[in-house]
């Protein structure tokens, strides 16, 4: 038993993670816009501060597990909000809760990334560079000039790199950090994308070799493994859980 914090806990993968961790005996502090222990808007600096302070108050400054699931999809009209929530709302909570994790027992954190992060080349994209440089204003401006898919996929690409860049410092701190890159998963975010006149067609065109979409509980099972003692030597990794979509698109890249 321990104390875990989960962002995006009110629906989708976040809700499934909360259920799984609670069934495993953890006390879970949920963070979301509503219907959560800590209600906060991760698209703003004030909201992130409120989320951090709410979690720290709830856990007494000692956190064993952290799972960052909150995110916006490509169908959202406010493209700037996508990068503010998906990237800045994740990395800022990671960094602000590191000290609390250092006080925990066998501490570990997992962030939800996406297999969309590698569908196109983002290595030198200006939007990704702005995010990795911590330039939120510049990233928001860059996102507003793009489309929903680029804003979403670039945010998840930058997040994946940000996680791996933290592997050395977090390892030195004794806290494991990994990411999961799900494919199409039956969540409200996916349903919103399906209903979009452009991105819905793109979603339908993606091959899933296993022939079906994931259920949120399946992703939560992988999260639980990465947080647990069976994954004690797994650190700085991005785990793909997409039914084989990434392998179908990029068979010679891994």
Residue 176 near residue 102 (C-beta atoms within 8 A): no
Indicate if 152 belongs to the active site. yes
Looking at 87, 152, 233, 240, which residue is catalytic?
Answer: 152
Q: Annotated catalytic sites, by residue?
A: 152
């Amino acid at each position: 038993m321990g104390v875990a914090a989960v962002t995006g806990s009110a629906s989708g993968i976040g809700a499934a993670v909360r259920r799984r961790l609670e069934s495993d005996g953890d006390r879970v502090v949920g963070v979301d816009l509503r219907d959560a222990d800590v209600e906060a808007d991760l698209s703003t600096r004030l909201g992130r501060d409120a989320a951090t302070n709410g979690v720290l108050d709830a856990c007494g400054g000692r956190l064993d597990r952290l799972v960052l699931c909150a995110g916006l999809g490509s169908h959202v009209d406010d493209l700037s909000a996508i990068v503010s929530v998906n990237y800045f709302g994740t990395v800022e909570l990671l960094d602000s809760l590191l000290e609390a994790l250092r006080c925990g027992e066998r501490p570990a954190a997992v962030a939800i990334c996406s297999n969309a992060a590698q569908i196109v080349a983002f290595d030198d994209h200006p939007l990704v560079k702005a995010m990795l440089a911590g330039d939120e204003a510049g990233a928001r401006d860059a996102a507003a000039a793009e489309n929903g898919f680029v804003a979403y996929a670039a945010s998840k690409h930058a997040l994946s790199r940000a996680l791996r860049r933290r592997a050395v410092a977090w390892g030195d701190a004794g806290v494991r950090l990994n990411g999961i890159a799900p494919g199409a998963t039956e969540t409200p975010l996916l349903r919103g994308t399906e209903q979009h006149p452009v991105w819905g067609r793109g979603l339908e065109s993606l091959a899933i070799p296993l022939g079906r979409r994931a259920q949120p509980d399946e992703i939560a099972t992988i999260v639980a493994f990465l947080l647990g003692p069976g994954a004690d030597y797994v650190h700085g990794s991005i785990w793909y859980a997409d039914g084989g979509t990434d392998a179908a698109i990029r068979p010679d890249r891994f």
